[in-house]
Amino acid sequence: MSKKLIEFINVSFRYSEDSPWVLRNVSFDIYEDEWVAIIGHNGSGKSTIAKLVNGLLFPGEGKILIDGREVNEDSIWEIRKKVGMVFQNPDNQFVGATVQDDVAFGMENRGVPRSEMIERIKSTLNAVGMQDYRLTEPHRLSGGQKQRVAIAGVLAISPRVLLLDEATAMLDPKGRKEIMQTVSNLLGKKGLSLITITHDLEEVVQADRVIVMNNGEVWDVSKPRDIFLKKDALRKIGLDIPFVAILADELRESGLSISREPLNHEELLEDLWTLYSKM
Amino acid sequence: MNSLIIGQYVPGDSYVHRLDPRTKITIIFFFIFVVFFANNVPSYSVLVIFALASVMLSRVPLRFIIKGLTPIWFLVIFTFILHLFVTKEGEVFFDFWHFEFYTGGVVQGVAISIRFFLLILVTSLLTLTTTPIEITDAIEDMLRPLNKVKFPVHELALMMSISLRFIPTLMQETEKISKAQASRGVDFKTGPVKDRIKAVVPLLVPLFVSAFKRAEELAMAMEARGYQGGEGRSKLRELKIGKLDMIIYIIFLSVIAVLFYTRTYA
């Protein structure tokens, strides 16, 4: 197993002394080069985890280590170099007047020299497929394009962790596809861990591991395929089961022997057309 | 919505567009200053020629210039007429009822009108050939000495550039909200003025609520991206005084020299 990059050790969090705990005794590890999806219904504490990782909030109890360093007031600027975050609303995180100004914002904050900025703007915009929009103003971009620019802005500071906090929630299906495509293209990059936070089970299928959150507690940590097996329990904690998984269940009930739990249409299709030869 | 342009900037690549915004602001500042030193036909001509030559060089279509001048026509005519009635210098050239019009009044009126015209012409040329963001950068750079007296120059410039960035976003939002409210029966377009003003309330309230929400989220996103004030920041947009700027400075200085040579000293 590769190196631990993020460690949550018995973390609890609440917004104030007299309010209920948002997170209760949460512990998990995230390793280098890993894609972890965090899923849960609204109010399950998943976005709070994102803010804790970036030092926008601090844990009430327990501690968080990023690359071996504890998150606290003194270390946040170090931590924010290592953890890049993309938020839900594409408009409310676009700071620059044009695409290239926005990608530069994070680098400007860190005092990166101008010549290097230009170089990195070019390469990161290429990485997210936005190289033709370098001088475009934000109001001329679609939501998906804005989120890709946001991803480029984060990549430009070469973080260790890329954290997408419901980055696709406000996008249309096309924009959602664009982002998931961009994200899976990035995975080849060495040393970059990816955390995607979502309430959509369809978005966890490509992840290496899934952390399911429920009412501020870690409900389950396992591989996507194993998560999909617990359909009834997932439904109980307020998550929508993807259509393919439901279809597979129905097919099984009507007597077809579908052995593995399909993650997407292609897998189910393959199981179906190879069914006869297996019998 | 795609044709939306903030301010009155007319895109182009003329010599005037290519000047450093600081050069433009400096020259306009001193131009406004020296306009008040002109006092005879040759000295006014020097200034008018300089201003018109700049307009020609900018290659901004005339209709944009005329549009920029519209707000001051009234003021020019008003002051002209005022001078006509009030100034009692020179000879009486026209007598009507018991008003006497003096030649001095006409001369004064024309001179003041030309001054107004020149001032508005050069300042609108600045906004026509410079993007708001360039002007912001220039102001930030030129106010930098004020940092010494703890004046928040960087913060001011950041506020300006973020406001500029959000104008189109908020306009789109206004359009969306007004459609949403119209579909629920709010009538923005007909009825007495009082009712129409009242109809703006259900437009403004959601707009303000969402603007505050945006501001909060933006602040969080900026912090997450490592923003910690102006110190130790580098800049992508760069201002550079080039050869062209030097040439313009020399031309402008000679214009001033000619102006002071031609003006009459009483």
Query: What residues of chain A lie within 8 A of the CB of B227, using their CB?
Result: 105, 109
Structure confidence by residue, pLDDT tens digits, A39-85: 888 888 888 899 999 888 898 889 899 988 888 888 888 888 889 99
Query: Looking at the complex, does the CB of residue B209 fall below 8 Å from at least one CB of chain A?
Result: no
Min Cα distance A238 → chain B (Å) is 27
Measure Cα distances from B73 to B66, B68, B76, B86, B106 in Å.
10, 10, 5, 20, 17
Query: Looking at the complex, does the CB of residue B235 fall below 8 Å from at least one CB of chain A?
Result: yes
* Model confidence band, residue B1 (pLDDT cutoffs 50, 70, 90): very low
Structure confidence by residue, pLDDT tens digits, A220-272: 888 888 888 888 888 888 787 878 888 888 888 887 777 777 777 788 888 88
Residue B59 phi, psi dihedral angles, 5° rounding: 55, 30
CB contact under 8 A, A56 and B172: no
Query: What residues of chain A lie within 8 A of the CB of B224, using their CB?
Result: 54, 56, 80, 85, 87
Is pLDDT above 70 for A190? no
Structure confidence by residue, pLDDT tens digits, B78-125: 888 888 888 887 777 777 777 778 888 888 889 888 998 899 889 889
Q: Which of A92, A97, A111 is opposite residue B232, by nearest beta carbon?
A: A111
Asked, for residue A258, whether it belongs to a domain, the answer is: no
Q: How far apart are CA B8 and CA B3, in angstroms?
A: 12
Nearest CA in chain B to A110: B233
Q: How far apart are CA A227 and CA A210, in angstroms?
A: 8
Q: Using an 8 Å Cβ cutoff, are A96 and A174 in contact?
A: no
Best residue in B155, B236, B238, B240 to probe A by mutation, most A CBs within 10 Å? B236
Query: What residues of chain A lie within 8 A of the CB of B232, using their CB?
Result: 110-111
Asked, for residue A249, whether it belongs to a domain, the answer is: no
ipTM of the complex: 0.84
CB contact under 8 A, B224 and A87: yes
Q: What does the domain layout of chain B look like in residue ranges?
A: 15-130+240-262, 153-224
Asked, for residue A274, whether it belongs to a domain, the answer is: no
Nearest-Å Rg of the Cα atoms of chain B is 25
The CB density around residue B183, as the number of other CB atoms within 10 Å, is 8
Nearest CA in chain B to A89: B217
Is pLDDT above 50 for B181? yes
Nearest-Å Rg of the Cα atoms of chain A is 20
pLDDT at A278: 65
CB contact under 8 A, A93 and B1: no
Q: How far apart are CA A114 and CA A134, in angstroms?
A: 16
**Lowest-confidence region among A10-14, B6-10, B72-76:** B6-10
- Name the token pair of A17: 């002394």
Q: How many CA atoms lie within 13 A of B31 on its CB side?
A: 30
Best residue in B3, B131, B214, B225 to probe A by mutation, most A CBs within 10 Å? B225
Q: Using an 8 Å Cβ cutoff, are A158 and A194 in contact?
A: no
Query: What residues of chain A lie within 8 A of the CB of B225, using their CB?
Result: 80, 84-85, 95, 105-106, 109, 153-154, 157
CB contact under 8 A, B226 and A77: yes
Min Cα distance A199 → chain B (Å) is 20
Query: What residues of chain A lie within 8 A of the CB of B168, using their CB?
Result: 137-139
CB contact under 8 A, A139 and B169: yes
Asked, for residue A257, whether it belongs to a domain, the answer is: no
* Total domains present in chain A: 1
- The average pLDDT across A170-181 equals 86
Asked, for residue A137, whether it belongs to a domain, the answer is: yes
Provide the domain limits for residue A68.
4-224
Asked, for residue A238, whether it belongs to a domain, the answer is: no
Q: How far apart are CA A256 and CA B212, in angstroms?
A: 55
Residue A146: give its domain's CATH number: 3.40.50.300
pLDDT at B199: 83
Query: Looking at the complex, does the CB of residue B145 fall below 8 Å from at least one CB of chain A?
Result: no
Q: How many CB pairs under 8 A join A and B?
A: 91
B-facing residues of A in 77-136 (CB < 8 A) are 77, 80-81, 84-85, 87, 89, 91-97, 100-101, 104-114, 117-118, 121
Q: How far apart are CA B1 and CA A275, in angstroms?
A: 54
Greatest mean pLDDT among B39-43, B80-84, B209-213 lies in B209-213
CB contact under 8 A, A111 and B233: yes
Structure confidence by residue, pLDDT tens digits, B217-255: 999 999 999 888 878 888 888 888 899 999 999 999 999
Entry pTM: 0.81
Longest Cα–Cα distance in chain B: 76
Query: What residues of chain B lie within 8 A of the CB of A138, using their CB?
Result: 165, 168-169
pLDDT at B45: 92
Higher model confidence: residue B93 or residue A110? A110
Is pLDDT above 60 for B174? yes
B-facing residues of A in 156-175 (CB < 8 A) are 157
Reported residue count of chain A is: 279
Is pLDDT above 50 for B2? no
Min Cα distance A13 → chain B (Å) is 19
